[in-house]
Amino acid sequence: MDRSNQKSPLLILFLVVLIDMIGFTLVIPFLTYFIQDLAEKAGTVDLGTRDWWVGITLAAYTFGQFLFTPIISTMSDKFGRRPIIILGLISNTIFLFAFGLSGSLWFALLVRFLAGVGNANIAVSRAYIGDISKPEQLAGRMGLIGAAFGLGFMIGPFVGGILSNPADMIGGFFDTDFWRQYPYLLPCIFASLLSAISLVLAIFKLPESLPENQRDSSIDSPLKSIKKIINNLVGIKNLAPSISLLILVNAIFLLSFTMMHATFILFTGMEISKGGLGFDATMNGYLFAYVGLVGVIVQGGLIRPLSKRFNNKYLMLLGIILTGLGLILIPYLNPEPFLFILLMLTLIALGNGLYQPTQSTLLTLEARESDVDLGFVMGSQEGFGALSRVLGPIFAAFVWKVTVERVGILDYHTVFHVCGILMLIASLMHLKLKLTYQKANTEVK
Protein backbone atom coordinates (compact mmCIF):
# COMPACT_ATOMS: atom_id res chain seq x y z
CA MET A 1 0.00 0.00 0.00
CA ASP A 2 1.19 3.50 -0.81
CA ARG A 3 1.59 5.38 2.47
CA SER A 4 1.07 8.77 0.89
CA ASN A 5 -2.70 8.50 0.45
CA GLN A 6 -4.49 6.30 2.98
CA LYS A 7 -7.42 8.46 4.06
CA SER A 8 -10.12 6.00 2.98
CA PRO A 9 -8.70 2.91 4.77
CA LEU A 10 -7.97 5.07 7.79
CA LEU A 11 -11.58 6.27 7.90
CA ILE A 12 -12.90 2.70 7.67
CA LEU A 13 -10.51 1.54 10.39
CA PHE A 14 -11.65 4.48 12.52
CA LEU A 15 -15.29 3.44 12.11
CA VAL A 16 -14.50 -0.23 12.77
CA VAL A 17 -12.61 0.61 15.96
CA LEU A 18 -15.25 3.15 17.03
CA ILE A 19 -18.19 0.77 16.65
CA ASP A 20 -16.21 -2.07 18.19
CA MET A 21 -15.28 0.09 21.19
CA ILE A 22 -18.86 1.28 21.69
CA GLY A 23 -19.96 -2.32 21.85
CA PHE A 24 -17.13 -3.33 24.15
CA THR A 25 -17.44 -0.42 26.60
CA LEU A 26 -21.20 -0.83 26.96
CA VAL A 27 -20.53 -3.39 29.70
CA ILE A 28 -18.45 -1.02 31.87
CA PRO A 29 -21.21 0.68 33.93
CA PHE A 30 -23.05 -2.53 34.84
CA LEU A 31 -20.40 -5.28 34.87
CA THR A 32 -19.56 -4.65 38.53
CA TYR A 33 -23.22 -4.75 39.60
CA PHE A 34 -23.89 -7.76 37.34
CA ILE A 35 -21.11 -9.81 38.94
CA GLN A 36 -22.12 -8.67 42.42
CA ASP A 37 -25.67 -9.92 41.70
CA LEU A 38 -24.38 -13.27 40.42
CA ALA A 39 -22.11 -13.63 43.46
CA GLU A 40 -24.97 -12.91 45.85
CA LYS A 41 -27.16 -15.36 43.93
CA ALA A 42 -24.44 -17.97 44.53
CA GLY A 43 -24.60 -17.24 48.28
CA THR A 44 -21.64 -14.85 48.61
CA VAL A 45 -22.77 -11.97 50.78
CA ASP A 46 -19.50 -10.84 52.40
CA LEU A 47 -18.61 -7.44 50.87
CA GLY A 48 -14.93 -8.14 50.27
CA THR A 49 -15.44 -11.67 48.91
CA ARG A 50 -18.29 -10.56 46.65
CA ASP A 51 -16.22 -7.74 45.18
CA TRP A 52 -13.27 -10.12 44.75
CA TRP A 53 -15.28 -11.83 42.01
CA VAL A 54 -15.51 -8.55 40.13
CA GLY A 55 -11.71 -8.45 39.84
CA ILE A 56 -11.55 -12.10 38.77
CA THR A 57 -14.15 -11.56 36.03
CA LEU A 58 -12.32 -8.49 34.71
CA ALA A 59 -9.11 -10.51 34.73
CA ALA A 60 -10.71 -13.43 32.83
CA TYR A 61 -11.02 -11.34 29.66
CA THR A 62 -7.47 -10.07 29.83
CA PHE A 63 -6.11 -13.52 30.72
CA GLY A 64 -7.50 -14.74 27.39
CA GLN A 65 -5.79 -11.78 25.70
CA PHE A 66 -2.54 -12.49 27.50
CA LEU A 67 -2.43 -16.10 26.35
CA PHE A 68 -3.46 -15.58 22.73
CA THR A 69 -2.99 -11.97 21.58
CA PRO A 70 0.79 -12.22 21.02
CA ILE A 71 0.26 -15.37 18.95
CA ILE A 72 -2.59 -13.85 16.96
CA SER A 73 -0.71 -10.60 16.43
CA THR A 74 2.32 -12.49 15.14
CA MET A 75 -0.05 -14.32 12.80
CA SER A 76 -1.03 -10.92 11.40
CA ASP A 77 2.58 -10.58 10.21
CA LYS A 78 2.09 -13.81 8.27
CA PHE A 79 -1.49 -13.65 6.99
CA GLY A 80 -2.26 -9.90 7.05
CA ARG A 81 -4.02 -7.53 9.46
CA ARG A 82 -7.52 -7.69 7.94
CA PRO A 83 -8.40 -11.36 8.70
CA ILE A 84 -7.25 -10.98 12.31
CA ILE A 85 -9.39 -7.87 12.81
CA ILE A 86 -12.37 -9.76 11.34
CA LEU A 87 -11.81 -12.72 13.69
CA GLY A 88 -11.81 -10.37 16.66
CA LEU A 89 -15.10 -8.81 15.59
CA ILE A 90 -16.72 -12.25 15.16
CA SER A 91 -15.60 -13.11 18.69
CA ASN A 92 -17.04 -9.87 20.09
CA THR A 93 -20.37 -10.36 18.31
CA ILE A 94 -20.88 -13.82 19.80
CA PHE A 95 -19.57 -13.40 23.31
CA LEU A 96 -21.00 -9.96 24.07
CA PHE A 97 -24.45 -11.43 23.51
CA ALA A 98 -23.65 -14.56 25.54
CA PHE A 99 -22.42 -12.50 28.49
CA GLY A 100 -25.86 -10.94 28.93
CA LEU A 101 -27.35 -14.42 29.32
CA SER A 102 -24.99 -15.37 32.14
CA GLY A 103 -26.85 -17.07 34.96
CA SER A 104 -23.82 -18.04 37.02
CA LEU A 105 -20.40 -16.72 37.89
CA TRP A 106 -18.65 -19.58 36.13
CA PHE A 107 -20.50 -19.02 32.86
CA ALA A 108 -19.71 -15.29 33.02
CA LEU A 109 -16.03 -16.09 33.62
CA LEU A 110 -15.91 -18.54 30.70
CA VAL A 111 -17.59 -16.13 28.28
CA ARG A 112 -15.29 -13.25 29.23
CA PHE A 113 -12.24 -15.50 28.84
CA LEU A 114 -13.31 -16.64 25.36
CA ALA A 115 -14.01 -13.04 24.35
CA GLY A 116 -10.47 -12.13 25.34
CA VAL A 117 -9.05 -15.08 23.41
CA GLY A 118 -10.55 -13.90 20.14
CA ASN A 119 -10.01 -10.17 20.40
CA ALA A 120 -6.64 -8.86 19.19
CA ASN A 121 -8.01 -5.70 17.61
CA ILE A 122 -5.97 -3.24 19.65
CA ALA A 123 -2.53 -4.57 18.68
CA VAL A 124 -3.44 -5.32 15.09
CA SER A 125 -5.18 -1.96 14.55
CA ARG A 126 -2.06 -0.14 15.69
CA ALA A 127 0.08 -2.31 13.43
CA TYR A 128 -2.32 -1.47 10.59
CA ILE A 129 -1.72 2.23 11.22
CA GLY A 130 2.02 1.62 11.20
CA ASP A 131 1.73 -0.17 7.84
CA ILE A 132 0.04 2.74 6.07
CA SER A 133 1.71 5.73 7.73
CA LYS A 134 4.88 7.73 7.21
CA PRO A 135 6.93 8.58 10.34
CA GLU A 136 5.67 12.16 10.42
CA GLN A 137 2.05 10.94 10.20
CA LEU A 138 2.20 8.47 13.07
CA ALA A 139 1.42 10.72 16.05
CA GLY A 140 -1.64 12.23 14.40
CA ARG A 141 -2.93 8.90 13.10
CA MET A 142 -2.33 7.07 16.35
CA GLY A 143 -4.21 9.95 17.97
CA LEU A 144 -7.07 9.51 15.50
CA ILE A 145 -7.44 5.85 16.41
CA GLY A 146 -7.10 6.87 20.04
CA ALA A 147 -9.97 9.28 19.43
CA ALA A 148 -12.06 6.35 18.16
CA PHE A 149 -11.34 4.61 21.43
CA GLY A 150 -12.21 7.77 23.35
CA LEU A 151 -15.42 8.36 21.42
CA GLY A 152 -16.41 4.72 21.88
CA PHE A 153 -15.55 5.06 25.55
CA MET A 154 -17.83 8.09 25.72
CA ILE A 155 -20.84 6.63 23.91
CA GLY A 156 -20.61 3.02 25.11
CA PRO A 157 -20.84 3.50 28.89
CA PHE A 158 -23.51 6.19 28.46
CA VAL A 159 -25.74 3.83 26.45
CA GLY A 160 -24.85 0.85 28.64
CA GLY A 161 -25.93 2.71 31.76
CA ILE A 162 -29.23 3.80 30.22
CA LEU A 163 -30.10 0.32 28.89
CA SER A 164 -29.31 -1.48 32.15
CA ASN A 165 -32.28 -2.87 34.08
CA PRO A 166 -34.84 -1.90 31.39
CA ALA A 167 -37.75 -3.36 33.35
CA ASP A 168 -37.44 -0.54 35.88
CA MET A 169 -35.59 2.14 33.89
CA ILE A 170 -37.62 1.94 30.65
CA GLY A 171 -40.74 -0.07 31.50
CA GLY A 172 -43.47 -0.76 28.95
CA PHE A 173 -42.45 -3.67 26.70
CA PHE A 174 -39.54 -4.48 29.04
CA ASP A 175 -41.62 -4.61 32.21
CA THR A 176 -41.72 -8.41 32.24
CA ASP A 177 -40.30 -11.26 34.33
CA PHE A 178 -37.85 -12.12 31.54
CA TRP A 179 -36.14 -8.72 31.57
CA ARG A 180 -36.14 -8.74 35.37
CA GLN A 181 -34.38 -12.10 35.27
CA TYR A 182 -31.84 -10.75 32.75
CA PRO A 183 -31.51 -7.06 33.67
CA TYR A 184 -28.26 -6.61 31.73
CA LEU A 185 -29.14 -8.51 28.56
CA LEU A 186 -30.45 -5.50 26.60
CA PRO A 187 -27.14 -3.57 26.55
CA CYS A 188 -25.35 -6.80 25.64
CA ILE A 189 -27.71 -7.36 22.69
CA PHE A 190 -27.12 -3.78 21.57
CA ALA A 191 -23.34 -4.26 21.92
CA SER A 192 -23.46 -7.47 19.90
CA LEU A 193 -25.43 -5.78 17.11
CA LEU A 194 -22.91 -2.93 16.95
CA SER A 195 -20.06 -5.42 16.74
CA ALA A 196 -21.89 -7.18 13.89
CA ILE A 197 -22.16 -3.86 12.02
CA SER A 198 -18.43 -3.32 12.55
CA LEU A 199 -17.82 -6.82 11.21
CA VAL A 200 -19.74 -6.06 8.01
CA LEU A 201 -17.75 -2.86 7.52
CA ALA A 202 -14.48 -4.72 7.95
CA ILE A 203 -15.46 -7.49 5.52
CA PHE A 204 -16.65 -5.23 2.71
CA LYS A 205 -14.78 -1.95 3.18
CA LEU A 206 -11.48 -2.52 5.00
CA PRO A 207 -8.55 -3.29 2.63
CA GLU A 208 -5.48 -5.25 3.64
CA SER A 209 -2.59 -3.05 4.79
CA LEU A 210 0.29 -5.54 4.69
CA PRO A 211 1.39 -6.56 1.15
CA GLU A 212 2.14 -10.24 0.65
CA ASN A 213 5.78 -9.52 -0.19
CA GLN A 214 6.23 -7.95 3.25
CA ARG A 215 4.74 -10.83 5.21
CA ASP A 216 6.63 -13.43 7.19
CA SER A 217 6.04 -16.64 5.23
CA SER A 218 7.33 -18.96 7.96
CA ILE A 219 4.74 -20.46 10.26
CA ASP A 220 5.71 -21.07 13.87
CA SER A 221 4.06 -23.82 15.86
CA PRO A 222 1.91 -22.71 18.81
CA LEU A 223 4.57 -24.05 21.19
CA LYS A 224 7.23 -21.93 19.49
CA SER A 225 4.99 -18.87 19.70
CA ILE A 226 4.40 -19.51 23.40
CA LYS A 227 8.15 -19.87 23.89
CA LYS A 228 8.61 -16.44 22.28
CA ILE A 229 6.07 -14.97 24.69
CA ILE A 230 7.91 -16.43 27.67
CA ASN A 231 11.24 -15.12 26.38
CA ASN A 232 9.76 -11.64 26.03
CA LEU A 233 8.26 -11.74 29.51
CA VAL A 234 11.53 -12.89 31.08
CA GLY A 235 13.77 -10.33 29.47
CA ILE A 236 12.38 -9.20 26.13
CA LYS A 237 15.61 -10.69 24.82
CA ASN A 238 14.96 -10.23 21.11
CA LEU A 239 14.17 -6.53 21.20
CA ALA A 240 16.26 -3.35 21.40
CA PRO A 241 16.68 -1.75 24.87
CA SER A 242 14.55 1.26 23.94
CA ILE A 243 11.71 -0.99 22.77
CA SER A 244 11.97 -3.14 25.89
CA LEU A 245 11.81 -0.11 28.17
CA LEU A 246 8.83 1.38 26.33
CA ILE A 247 6.98 -1.93 26.67
CA LEU A 248 7.82 -2.26 30.37
CA VAL A 249 6.77 1.33 31.15
CA ASN A 250 3.51 0.67 29.32
CA ALA A 251 2.98 -2.52 31.33
CA ILE A 252 3.38 -0.64 34.63
CA PHE A 253 1.12 2.17 33.42
CA LEU A 254 -1.57 -0.35 32.49
CA LEU A 255 -1.14 -2.26 35.76
CA SER A 256 -1.94 0.93 37.66
CA PHE A 257 -4.74 1.95 35.30
CA THR A 258 -6.49 -1.45 35.40
CA MET A 259 -6.24 -1.55 39.18
CA MET A 260 -8.24 1.68 39.17
CA HIS A 261 -10.63 0.30 36.56
CA ALA A 262 -11.37 -2.72 38.75
CA THR A 263 -12.13 -0.68 41.85
CA PHE A 264 -13.45 2.67 40.62
CA ILE A 265 -17.09 1.55 40.41
CA LEU A 266 -16.67 -0.43 43.63
CA PHE A 267 -15.79 2.91 45.23
CA THR A 268 -18.40 5.06 43.47
CA GLY A 269 -21.09 2.45 44.16
CA MET A 270 -20.20 2.14 47.85
CA GLU A 271 -22.59 3.72 50.33
CA ILE A 272 -21.91 7.35 51.19
CA SER A 273 -21.92 6.48 54.90
CA LYS A 274 -18.96 4.16 54.27
CA GLY A 275 -16.97 6.73 52.29
CA GLY A 276 -18.23 6.03 48.76
CA LEU A 277 -20.34 8.12 46.41
CA GLY A 278 -23.52 6.02 46.26
CA PHE A 279 -23.71 6.08 42.44
CA ASP A 280 -25.67 3.57 40.33
CA ALA A 281 -24.90 2.09 36.88
CA THR A 282 -26.48 5.03 35.05
CA MET A 283 -24.46 7.63 36.95
CA ASN A 284 -21.26 5.67 36.40
CA GLY A 285 -22.13 5.59 32.71
CA TYR A 286 -22.22 9.39 32.71
CA LEU A 287 -18.82 9.55 34.42
CA PHE A 288 -17.16 7.24 31.92
CA ALA A 289 -18.83 9.13 29.09
CA TYR A 290 -17.16 12.31 30.33
CA VAL A 291 -13.78 10.54 30.41
CA GLY A 292 -14.37 9.48 26.81
CA LEU A 293 -15.29 13.03 25.80
CA VAL A 294 -12.03 14.42 27.18
CA GLY A 295 -10.17 11.59 25.46
CA VAL A 296 -11.74 12.52 22.12
CA ILE A 297 -10.73 16.17 22.54
CA VAL A 298 -7.15 15.30 23.46
CA GLN A 299 -6.45 12.46 21.03
CA GLY A 300 -8.64 13.69 18.21
CA GLY A 301 -7.68 17.36 18.31
CA LEU A 302 -4.92 18.38 20.71
CA ILE A 303 -2.34 15.65 20.22
CA ARG A 304 -1.46 16.64 16.65
CA PRO A 305 -0.49 20.29 17.38
CA LEU A 306 1.08 19.28 20.71
CA SER A 307 3.26 16.63 19.05
CA LYS A 308 4.40 19.21 16.49
CA ARG A 309 5.43 21.69 19.15
CA PHE A 310 6.69 19.44 21.94
CA ASN A 311 8.83 16.33 22.22
CA ASN A 312 6.75 13.13 22.21
CA LYS A 313 8.96 11.69 24.92
CA TYR A 314 8.04 14.49 27.33
CA LEU A 315 4.36 14.46 26.38
CA MET A 316 4.37 10.78 27.29
CA LEU A 317 5.95 11.56 30.68
CA LEU A 318 3.43 14.33 31.36
CA GLY A 319 0.65 11.86 30.58
CA ILE A 320 1.97 9.42 33.18
CA ILE A 321 2.24 12.14 35.85
CA LEU A 322 -1.26 13.58 35.26
CA THR A 323 -2.86 10.14 35.25
CA GLY A 324 -1.11 9.16 38.47
CA LEU A 325 -2.22 12.36 40.20
CA GLY A 326 -5.83 11.74 39.17
CA LEU A 327 -5.77 8.13 40.44
CA ILE A 328 -4.48 9.17 43.86
CA LEU A 329 -7.30 11.71 44.26
CA ILE A 330 -10.15 9.24 43.61
CA PRO A 331 -10.82 8.01 47.18
CA TYR A 332 -10.84 11.56 48.56
CA LEU A 333 -13.87 12.55 46.50
CA ASN A 334 -17.31 13.34 47.92
CA PRO A 335 -20.65 13.45 46.08
CA GLU A 336 -20.51 17.25 46.39
CA PRO A 337 -19.10 19.41 44.96
CA PHE A 338 -19.47 17.48 41.72
CA LEU A 339 -16.93 19.80 40.06
CA PHE A 340 -14.15 18.09 42.02
CA ILE A 341 -15.19 14.74 40.56
CA LEU A 342 -15.00 16.18 37.05
CA LEU A 343 -11.58 17.68 37.81
CA MET A 344 -10.22 14.30 38.90
CA LEU A 345 -11.67 12.60 35.81
CA THR A 346 -10.18 15.33 33.62
CA LEU A 347 -6.70 14.67 34.99
CA ILE A 348 -7.01 10.94 34.30
CA ALA A 349 -8.49 11.38 30.83
CA LEU A 350 -6.02 14.11 29.84
CA GLY A 351 -3.07 12.10 31.09
CA ASN A 352 -4.17 8.94 29.34
CA GLY A 353 -4.97 10.92 26.18
CA LEU A 354 -1.42 12.30 26.09
CA TYR A 355 0.20 9.00 26.99
CA GLN A 356 -1.41 6.50 24.63
CA PRO A 357 -0.67 8.02 21.18
CA THR A 358 2.80 9.26 22.09
CA GLN A 359 3.85 5.91 23.55
CA SER A 360 2.50 4.07 20.48
CA THR A 361 4.31 6.52 18.18
CA LEU A 362 7.65 6.14 19.93
CA LEU A 363 7.32 2.35 19.99
CA THR A 364 6.50 2.22 16.28
CA LEU A 365 9.42 4.47 15.34
CA GLU A 366 11.84 2.49 17.49
CA ALA A 367 10.61 -0.77 15.94
CA ARG A 368 11.22 0.59 12.46
CA GLU A 369 14.68 1.83 13.41
CA SER A 370 15.52 -1.62 14.82
CA ASP A 371 14.05 -3.38 11.75
CA VAL A 372 11.70 -5.52 13.85
CA ASP A 373 8.32 -6.79 12.62
CA LEU A 374 5.78 -4.22 13.76
CA GLY A 375 3.10 -6.81 14.37
CA PHE A 376 5.45 -8.77 16.62
CA VAL A 377 6.41 -5.63 18.59
CA MET A 378 2.80 -4.56 19.05
CA GLY A 379 1.88 -8.13 19.92
CA SER A 380 4.64 -8.23 22.54
CA GLN A 381 3.40 -4.96 24.01
CA GLU A 382 -0.16 -6.22 24.09
CA GLY A 383 1.06 -9.46 25.67
CA PHE A 384 2.71 -7.50 28.47
CA GLY A 385 -0.31 -5.19 28.58
CA ALA A 386 -2.63 -8.17 28.85
CA LEU A 387 -0.51 -9.55 31.70
CA SER A 388 -0.91 -6.20 33.47
CA ARG A 389 -4.65 -6.30 32.81
CA VAL A 390 -4.77 -9.79 34.31
CA LEU A 391 -2.75 -8.97 37.41
CA GLY A 392 -4.22 -5.48 37.90
CA PRO A 393 -7.85 -6.43 38.61
CA ILE A 394 -6.85 -9.46 40.70
CA PHE A 395 -4.34 -7.52 42.79
CA ALA A 396 -6.71 -4.55 43.12
CA ALA A 397 -9.58 -6.82 44.17
CA PHE A 398 -7.34 -8.49 46.75
CA VAL A 399 -6.21 -5.16 48.22
CA TRP A 400 -9.80 -3.92 48.19
CA LYS A 401 -11.03 -7.11 49.87
CA VAL A 402 -8.61 -6.89 52.81
CA THR A 403 -8.86 -3.11 53.33
CA VAL A 404 -12.36 -1.95 52.35
CA GLU A 405 -13.91 -2.54 55.77
CA ARG A 406 -10.86 -1.48 57.78
CA VAL A 407 -10.04 1.92 59.26
CA GLY A 408 -6.73 3.68 59.70
CA ILE A 409 -3.78 3.80 57.32
CA LEU A 410 -4.91 0.71 55.41
CA ASP A 411 -8.49 1.29 54.29
CA TYR A 412 -10.36 1.72 50.99
CA HIS A 413 -7.90 4.50 50.03
CA THR A 414 -5.04 2.00 49.85
CA VAL A 415 -5.64 0.53 46.42
CA PHE A 416 -5.60 4.00 44.82
CA HIS A 417 -2.42 4.90 46.70
CA VAL A 418 -0.79 1.80 45.18
CA CYS A 419 -1.91 3.03 41.74
CA GLY A 420 -0.10 6.31 42.36
CA ILE A 421 3.09 4.55 43.48
CA LEU A 422 3.10 2.47 40.29
CA MET A 423 2.74 5.62 38.17
CA LEU A 424 5.71 7.11 40.03
CA ILE A 425 7.77 4.01 39.18
CA ALA A 426 6.73 4.29 35.52
CA SER A 427 7.81 7.95 35.50
CA LEU A 428 11.24 7.14 36.95
CA MET A 429 11.75 4.35 34.41
CA HIS A 430 10.73 6.69 31.61
CA LEU A 431 13.53 9.10 32.58
CA LYS A 432 16.01 6.35 31.64
CA LEU A 433 14.61 6.08 28.11
CA LYS A 434 17.22 6.64 25.36
CA LEU A 435 15.68 6.62 21.90
CA THR A 436 17.61 5.52 18.84
CA TYR A 437 15.19 7.23 16.48
CA GLN A 438 16.09 10.77 17.53
CA LYS A 439 14.17 12.39 14.69
CA ALA A 440 10.93 11.10 16.21
CA ASN A 441 11.54 13.25 19.28
CA THR A 442 12.16 16.52 17.45
CA GLU A 443 10.35 16.46 14.13
CA VAL A 444 6.83 15.06 14.40
CA LYS A 445 4.79 16.95 11.86
Structure confidence at residue 329 (pLDDT): 93
Structure confidence at residue 234 (pLDDT): 62
Measured between alpha carbons, how far is 152 from 154 in angstroms, rounded to an integer?
A: 5
Structure confidence at residue 441 (pLDDT): 44
Tens digit of each residue's pLDDT (9 = 90 or more) over 181-230: 888 899 999 988 988 988 898 899 888 888 777 776 665 555 666 666 66
CB–CB of 73/379 below 8 Å? yes
Structure confidence at residue 249 (pLDDT): 94
Measured between alpha carbons, how far is 406 from 55 in angstroms, rounded to an integer?
A: 19
Structure confidence at residue 440 (pLDDT): 41
Structure confidence at residue 438 (pLDDT): 55
Topology of domain 7-208+223-437, CATH = Growth Hormone; Chain: A; (1.20.1250)
Which parts of the chain have pLDDT scores under 50? 2, 4, 439-445
Structure confidence at residue 7 (pLDDT): 60
- What are the C-alpha distances in Å from 217 to residues 79, 212, 264, 368, 381? 8, 9, 45, 19, 22
Domain layout of the chain by residue ranges? 7-208+223-437
Structure confidence at residue 325 (pLDDT): 95
Structure confidence at residue 41 (pLDDT): 85
